[in-house]
Amino acid sequence: MKLKLLTISFFACGLMGISAQAQGNSSEDSTGLPGDNFSLQGALAMFKKAGSPEEFEKMINSPDNHVNNLDLNGDGDIDYVRVIDKSKGGDHVFVLQVPVSENESQDIAVIELEKNGAESASLQIVGDEDIYGEQTIAEPSEDIETEPGGNGPYYNPDNYSFAPSGAVVNVWFWPCVRFVYTPSYTLWVSPWRWHRYPMWWHPWRPLAWHVFHPFVRPFHRNYIVVSTHRLIRARAIYTPFRTTSVVVRTRNQGAINHFRVSRTTTISTGPGGKIKSKKTVIRGRRKG
């Protein structure tokens, strides 16, 4: 009997240890920045599923999809993220933006889309530095072709282009991408603003980090954070329109400063662009 009780005791202690370690890892992964509460990879997953930018906006604001957990102004309610499409030539940028007050808005991220062939297009999502502490870039990583012998990815001029971090997924056949390249498409500019939201949407209370994070972890399998910013033309479209909020910057300045002095980042820009690098001391690292 004593042996049985001792075995149960050791088993219980083991479970407690595993639980404590998991909680500790969750704590280490959190940066304390607003970006912890919006999944860039999740946004790309919704963009792939959506049939239009309007549907995409609805999907990232649905509580069931667990992409958005933002409360930028600290009022205790989830923020509504609107989508604004800007285009030049065959390139688009979809700005993901939160109205934080009557007079201010804050960009969360921008999906950059470039057409590079008759049936070929590339995209990346770039998280705003005031939300993520630095420009954080993610892109799709699934559907990578392999050589006939299965030895690894190879360059297919019809579907992919190579970059330092690997093959770029051709997103031309994503429904939303095809939709925005139809001749009848007109640029989607969300009609919603501060305290003017669609009837189907109602704010909810933000989830704690350790509750929200497990929901977004599955997105990381097919969408990865990368260091190379490839889409130069799309970035040029977005840069003049970047929108930031004094309220958001002031509220998160301490966490942003701590993050920036605790991380080493090298972001290189693709062909034809400049290479930017920033080196600091690493004290911790957020996972995706």
Task: Tokens for 107, please give them.
Answer: 């960009």
Domain of 137 in residue numbering reads as 29-278
Q: Give a yes or no: residue 266 inside a domain.
A: yes
φ, ψ at 20 (rounded to 5°):
-65, -40
Q: Give a yes or no: residue 142 inside a domain.
A: yes
Cα separation, 240 vs 107, in Å, equals 13
Q: Looking at the DSSP assignment, which residues form a beta bridge with residue 163?
A: 166
- pLDDT tens figures, 63-78: 999 999 999 999 999 9
Q: Give a yes or no: residue 148 inside a domain.
A: yes
Total domains in the fold of the chain: 1
Tell me the H-state helices in 196-252. Answer: 209-216, 232-238, 246-251
pLDDT at 286 (0 to 100)? 45
Q: Give a yes or no: residue 3 inside a domain.
A: no
Q: Give a yes or no: residue 165 inside a domain.
A: yes
Question: Residues 6 or more apart from 136 whose CB is under 8 A from it?
Answer: 35, 40, 126, 127, 225
Q: Give a yes or no: residue 54 inside a domain.
A: yes
Is 0.85 surpassed by the pTM of this model?
no
pLDDT at 132 (0 to 100)? 96
Cα separation, 222 vs 142, in Å, equals 5
Ranges under pLDDT 70 in the chain: 1-29, 142-166, 263-288
pLDDT at 37 (0 to 100)? 97
Contact between residue 127 and residue 136 where contact means Cβ atoms under 8 Å apart: yes
pLDDT at 268 (0 to 100)? 59
pLDDT at 112 (0 to 100)? 98
Q: Give a yes or no: residue 112 inside a domain.
A: yes
Q: Give a yes or no: residue 5 inside a domain.
A: no
Q: At what angle do helices 40-49 and 53-60 cross, to 10 degrees?
A: 140
